[in-house]
Amino acid sequence: MAEQNEYVPPKVWTWDAESGGRFANINRPIAGPTHDKELPKGKHPIQLYSLGTPNGVKVTIMLEELLAAGYSDAEYDAWLINIGEGDQFSSGYVELNPNSKIPVMLDTTTGTRVFESASILLYLANKFGAFVPEEHGAKTEAMNWLFWQMGSAPYLGGGFGHFYAYAPFKMEYPINRFAMEVKRQMDVLNRHLAENKFMAGDEYSIADMAIWPWYGAMAKGVLYDAKEFLSVHEYEHVIRWADEVGARPAVKRGRMVNRTFGEPSSQLHERHDASDFDTKTQDKLQG
């Protein structure tokens, strides 16, 4: 390992706002709002405030899958929360999610706020009775993998993704440590999907919706530009599953919502009607 200057922690830690990193301008060691601003509300029963990151995509996939399955009460307004500009620290947002992370959802039919992506998926699954297996064993398996994702993704995003892609300079030890863990996680999935069509067996569920935006994207080489570094071609069963889930029309639509990067035709910054996919993607608005 290359020699590095050793960091000696002080007796009492203090926040250095100039410590660097891609998201240094929005990071802070306290909670609460930074400014007063009410959240907008649309006409649909469900109001979603989000961004097209993996955690946000989980929920828009679920909503589009519900609509595709005929659950018209799952109609939703998806409002863009620009985390780079600190939208998540507005008073209106913090009222719905005191943790100031995306996504957050408001069910206007009950006045219920729901934050944390897995909680939103479970809320919608329970509300509509969809995308969770009815049989107890299969349902438990879906829950196993849903909570596996919630516990594992911080290593993939906050760990590997941060040090490999976002830290102000490359550091060998944390990159090696988190690359090892991400490859172990990918192997866990690859072994499971060698014997199962979907995460909970033969039935597509919220477990697939939760895992696909993170690990499906990694398997397809579109996350952190780390395809070669992590040798993702080794995970052939994850790639097979990622292709199958990614081919679903509702998944294709869901990954476009609140997306602010990539090809303009793949970006639907806000979604307020099903027709927006045909008329309000960025290529249409810019054209």
Domain harbouring 87, CATH code = 3.40.30.10
Q: How many domains does the chain have?
A: 2
* 196 has pLDDT over 90: yes
| pLDDT tier at 3, thresholds 50, 70, 90 | low
Instruction: Tell me, yes or no, whether 178 and 71 share the same domain.
Output: no
pLDDT value of position 230: 97
105 secondary structure, DSSP code: E
| Residue 171, CA distances (Å) to 89, 153, 164, 176, 181 in order | 30, 20, 8, 9, 16
Instruction: Report if residue 171 sits inside a domain.
Output: yes
| The CA-based dihedral angle spanning residues 248, 252, 258, 264, taken in that order and rounded to the nearest 10 degrees | 180
Instruction: Tell me, yes or no, whether 217 and 186 share the same domain.
Output: yes
Instruction: Tell me, yes or no, whether 194 and 239 share the same domain.
Output: yes
The share of the chain scoring above pLDDT 70, in percent, equals 97
Neighbours of 253 (CB within 10 A): 21
Instruction: Tell me, yes or no, whether 102 and 68 share the same domain.
Output: yes
Instruction: Tell me, yes or no, whether 140 and 228 share the same domain.
Output: yes
pLDDT value of position 4: 63
Neighbours of 242 (CB within 10 A): 24
pLDDT value of position 103: 98
Contacts of 225 (CB under 8 A, 6+ apart): 165
CATH number for the domain that contains residue 187: 1.20.1050.10
Instruction: Tell me, yes or no, whether 39 and 117 share the same domain.
Output: yes
What are the backbone angles phi and psi of residue 257, rounded to the nearest 5°? -75, 135
| pLDDT tier at 20, thresholds 50, 70, 90 | low
Instruction: Report if residue 66 sits inside a domain.
Output: yes
Closest of 258, 217, 253, 207 to residue 238, by C-alpha? 217
Average pLDDT, the chain: 95
Instruction: Tell me, yes or no, whether 145 and 102 share the same domain.
Output: no
Neighbours of 174 (CB within 10 A): 15
